[in-house]
Amino acid sequence: MRRITLTRFLIEEQRNRNVIETDLRLLIEVVARACKSISLAVGKGALAGVLGSADVENVQGEVQKKLDVISNEILLEANEWGGHLAAMASEEMEHPYAIPHRYPKGEFLLLFDPLDGSSNIDVNVSIGTIFSVLRCPEGVEQPEEKHFLQAGTEQVCAGYAVYGPTTVLVLTLGRGVHCFTLDRELGSFVLTQRDLSIPADTKEFSINMSNMRHWDAPVRRYVDELLAGKSGPRAKDFNMRWVASMVADVHRILTRGGVFMYPRDAREPSKPGKLRLMYEANPMSFIVEQAGGMATDGHRRILSIGPQSLHERVAVFLGSRHEVDRVTRYHADA
């Protein structure tokens, strides 16, 4: 079998389809390399003393794990010197990170959730990295938060890595979704699936059921109907999975279909959900749509939302088209 590495894939995309520029290619290679470093740190676990809490809080008021901090630093260090970025933003930093003056600046903005699924780090369950790439508005020399506040439709690239039994990198440049598996001996990502596609129908859903009592009526109605199974209004049995790492739950959906939900709930009525729009919901929605799925906040297409702030939260319903469409209709009916 002829193996296509990420490097070759990107060069051929550029050459044959002219869909990527050299700087974007460099950006993706650098992010992929950072994910390899994170994968290595994750894989060492207790042997390298990387498990447990870092005893500091991030801007979201969450206690950071050591690996949240390490992964954030790996991504910053890998990306600051290449000349391909104008600035970066991260779940773990309140404000955008400016490229140090000693390095040249590029035209892209990179946003990331350096380590997704933090609650799974210490229990040896799959975790990952999510990233999104935007263009820096023309003429902007020192990008600020407001320059990042672009709708998800403006993304030029999005991807995630899952550090599971294997490390995979899933990528979209707006022309389909492709999956690469890390060959640990070679040290490179190898293309293992082209054009991933999410089936429109599914019998599997993904939601943290412990929050049921806090959900809005349309979400309760939808999930109640799934739970009612064969004898209920849906006339079929549904299965449930919840990894509690969005990367792993979304990766399953890209592999065999399903619907993933993190709705708004009444625990913190001021917050429109738990997941963050700019570096969780937007990149994942771009990937899901590119694979033929659908992503809404219950009312609107997630990618069309005009962001108000870097760390804003959003309700998320994504995955198999017919199910996301249904739960979105239930919101409209209410």
Lookup: tokens for 109: 């903005």
Output the CA torsion sign for 299, 302, 304, 308.
positive
- The distance of closest approach from Cβ of residue 283 to Mn ion in the complex, given in angstroms and rounded to an integer, is 11
Does 249 participate in binding Mn ion (rule CB under 5 A)? no
Q: What is the DSSP letter of 215?
A: B
**Contact pattern for Mn ion over residues 105 through 124, marking x by CB under 5 A:** --------x-xx--------
- The distance of closest approach from Cβ of residue 7 to ligand AHG in the complex, given in angstroms and rounded to an integer, is 28
- Dist CA 307 CA 320 (whole Å): 25
Q: Return the residue of 34, 75, 76, 116 that touches ligand AHG, per CB under 6 A.
A: 116
- The distance of closest approach from Cβ of residue 249 to ligand AHG in the complex, given in angstroms and rounded to an integer, is 6
- Dist CA 301 CA 292 (whole Å): 14
- The distance of closest approach from Cβ of residue 76 to Mn ion in the complex, given in angstroms and rounded to an integer, is 14
- Dist CA 173 CA 175 (whole Å): 6
- Dist CA 276 CA 113 (whole Å): 9
208 interacts with, out of ligand AHG, Mn ion, none, CB within 5 to 8 A per kind: ligand AHG
Scanning 186-194, 197-205, 232-240, 244-252 for contacts with ligand AHG by CB under 6 A, the matching segment is 244-252
320 interacts with, out of ligand AHG, Mn ion, none, CB within 5 to 8 A per kind: none
Provide Rg for the chain, Cα atoms. Answer: 19
Cβ proximity to ligand AHG: between 91 and 204 the closer is 91
Provide the 3-class DSSP secondary structure of residue 304. helix
Provide the 3-class DSSP secondary structure of residue 78. helix
Report 12-41 residues binding Mn ion (CB under 5 A).
none
Which is nearest to 163 in space by CA: 208, 118, 112, 197? Answer: 118
304 interacts with, out of Mn ion, ligand AHG, none, CB within 5 to 8 A per kind: none
- Dist CA 77 CA 85 (whole Å): 12
Interaction site with ligand AHG (CB under 6 A): 91, 113, 116-119, 208, 244-246, 262, 274
Interaction site with Mn ion (CB under 5 A): 91, 113, 115-116
